[in-house]
Amino acid sequence: GQNIDQPTEMTATEGAIVQINCTYQTSGFNGLFWYQQHAGEAPTFLSYNVLDGLEEKGRFSSFLSRSKGYSYLLLKELQMKDSASYLCAVRDETGKLIFGQGTTLQVKP
């Protein structure tokens, strides 16, 4: 079956670095997406990985290891506005996006 696992909740301090992990087991793999969703708002696209390695975009980086079925999202220099849910999603062999349940990150002063 299709399965995406992420921690349910994480807490970190303003200015620190946090890593949100995602492991997946899907029927086929056509890329992995990370989305950010603030409470009551639409999910917004953060990153896309289809090849192994690290993709960096400002304070956010995303890593993928296809052989391990593993990805992480790294957030540096945390700000209070980074408090949100972070959704990991894998595009399977049919092209469908399979989402994890999301990780709620709380950034504390």
Partner 1 sequence: ETGVTQTPRHLVMGMTNKKSLKCEQHLGHNAMYWYKQSAKKPLELMFVYSLEERVENNSVPSRFSPECPNSSHLFLHLHTLQPEDSALYLCASSQVLRTEYEQYFGPGTRLTVT
Q: Which of 67, 63, 73, 66 is nearest to 102 (CA)?
A: 73
Q: Looking at beta carbons only, is 48 or 70 nearer to partner 1?
A: 48
Contact between 69 and partner 1 by CB under 8 A: the answer reads no
Q: In which residue are the tokens 């079925």 written? A: 69
Q: Which stretch binds partner 1 (CB under 8 A): 14-22, 53-61, 64-72, 90-98?
A: 90-98
Q: Looking at beta carbons only, is 18 or 100 nearer to partner 1?
A: 100
Amino acid 4 reads I
Contact between 45 and partner 1 by CB under 8 A: the answer reads yes
Contact between 87 and partner 1 by CB under 8 A: the answer reads yes
Q: Looking at beta carbons only, is 58 or 95 nearer to partner 1?
A: 95
Of 23, 31, 60, 83, the one binding partner 1 (CB under 8 A) is 31
Contact between 48 and partner 1 by CB under 8 A: the answer reads yes
β 84-91/103-108 pair status: antiparallel
